[in-house]
């Protein structure tokens, strides 16, 4: 795969970015303030002049399902014309970075591979940082091809994934499912073909293999498989494994700080000049507020204005807008 040298190089350079949580700087989270949220009204003053780097979520911001949100290509080009750097960070682990590059291209967007970060890549980077390969063990995957491709790029052996789609364990009298005792980690990512076989295999590895680590790409409750409705997200798959193991996973996708630590370490970015833009409060906005970034919520995805402004919501972005196209909307003239 032609992206292998790039990814291996960046992984090798990123070890210090994945430092233990206790060694990272702490930030006061705006999510605890429950302040009134302002809708974007003067984008140049409120966002563009304050931001050098935009981190965009993908589902609900750039596209919905397999449909590009209207106006996005023009808006991204205007940002590039202003000299803004951009990164696209998705919690969806079904594709590798190379796979997402193909999706961007299929939607008519020319996005360099080095600007794309998926939670499948984050899982591989986490294994690199923890020197998992040196243990000589393998990974069991509840998930799709994206995780498999990223692990192949770093030379970590795996089992499961798409190969276990459609399998059924023997549940007759005396039936049992044999599992590989050399599995040292279970990665759970979004899986449209999740089944009882995979859940049982994962719980056996976690419960019976000493030291087996439970890793989740994300805990998203819902996702956009299509633009017609919301679909159960990876939180449902992770919840099944949590329920039968009693274990909490290590989460490598948003709002975990792993990816922003990686970006800041690799590129020397100033956190206060980065704006996280997403459609989810509990992942995208929390990723921004908890890591010292600016944050902006768009209403083009899963979060409604009613939910954002509800008294029950305590996660507050700096601003919100209908879509990122509002970055270049005309500023109303004062009367």
Q: Which pLDDT tens digits describe the chain residue by residue (335 residues)?
A: 444 443 434 444 444 444 434 444 444 444 434 447 999 999 999 999 999 999 999 999 999 988 999 999 999 999 999 999 999 999 999 999 999 999 999 999 999 999 999 999 999 999 999 999 999 999 999 999 999 999 999 999 999 999 999 999 999 999 999 999 999 999 999 999 999 999 999 999 999 999 999 999 999 998 878 878 889 999 999 999 999 999 999 999 999 998 899 889 888 899 999 999 999 999 999 999 999 999 999 999 999 999 999 999 999 999 999 999 999 987 765 55
Cα separations (Å) of 187 from 46, 67, 215? 40, 28, 5
According to the model, what pLDDT value does residue 335 have? 55
**Chain position carrying tokens 């009204």:** 41
Q: Where are the beta strands (DSSP E) in the chain?
A: 38-39, 53-56, 63-64, 67-68, 85-90, 116-118, 138-142, 158-160, 183-188, 213-216, 222-223, 231-232, 250-251, 274-278, 294-298, 319-321
Strand partners of residue 295: 276
According to the model, what pLDDT value does residue 230 have? 86
- Pair of tokens at residue 187: 């990665």
According to the model, what pLDDT value does residue 266 have? 81
According to the model, what pLDDT value does residue 332 have? 63
According to the model, what pLDDT value does residue 333 have? 56
Q: How many CA atoms lie within 13 A of 60 on its CB side?
A: 27
294-318 in b/e form (b: 16+ CB < 10 A) is bbbbbbbbbbeeeebeeeebebbbb
Q: Catalytic residues, which ones? A: 52
70-99 in b/e form (b: 16+ CB < 10 A) is eebeebbeebeeeebbebbbbbbbbbbbbb
Cα separations (Å) of 312 from 32, 103, 279, 306, 315? 12, 36, 18, 11, 9
């Amino acid at each position: 795969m032609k992206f292998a040298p790039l990814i291996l190089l960046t992984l090798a350079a990123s070890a210090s970015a994945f430092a233990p949580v206790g060694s990272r700087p702490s930030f006061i989270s705006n999510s605890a303030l429950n302040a009134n949220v302002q809708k974007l009204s003067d984008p140049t003053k409120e966002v563009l002049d304050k931001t050098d780097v935009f981190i965009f979520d993908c589902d609900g911001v750039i596209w919905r399902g397999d449909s590009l949100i209207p106006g996005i290509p023009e808006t991204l080009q205007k940002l590039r014309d202003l000299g803004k750097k951009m990164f696209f960070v998705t919690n969806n682990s079904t594709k590798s970075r190379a796979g997402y590059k193909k999706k961007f291209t299929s939607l008519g967007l020319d996005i360099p591979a080095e600007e794309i970060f998926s939670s499948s890549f984050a899982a591989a980077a986490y294994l690199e940082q923890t020197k998992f390969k040196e243990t000589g063990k393998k990974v069991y995957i509840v998930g799709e091809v994206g995780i498999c491709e990223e692990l192949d790029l770093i030379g970590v052996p795996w089992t499961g994934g798409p190969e276990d789609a459609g399998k059924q364990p023997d549940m007759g009298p005396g039936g049992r499912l044999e599992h590989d005792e050399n599995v040292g980690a279970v990665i759970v990512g979004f899986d449209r073909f999740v089944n009882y076989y995979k859940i049982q295999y994962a719980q056996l590895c976690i419960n019976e293999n000493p030291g087996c680590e439970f890793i989740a790409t994300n805990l998203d409750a819902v996702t956009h498989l299509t633009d017609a409705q919301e679909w159960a997200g990876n939180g449902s798959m992770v919840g099944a494994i949590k329920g039968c193991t009693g274990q909490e996973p290590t989460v490598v996708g948003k709002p975990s700080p792993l990816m922003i630590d990686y970006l800041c370490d690799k590129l020397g970015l100033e956190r206060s000049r980065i704006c996280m833009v997403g459609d989810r409060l509990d992942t995208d906005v929390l990723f921004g507020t908890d890591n010292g970034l600016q944050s902006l919520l768009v209403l083009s995805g899963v979060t409604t204005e009613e939910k954002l402004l509800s008294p029950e919501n305590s996660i507050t972005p700096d601003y919100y807008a209908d879509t990122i196209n509002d970055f270049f909307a005309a500023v109303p003239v004062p009367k």
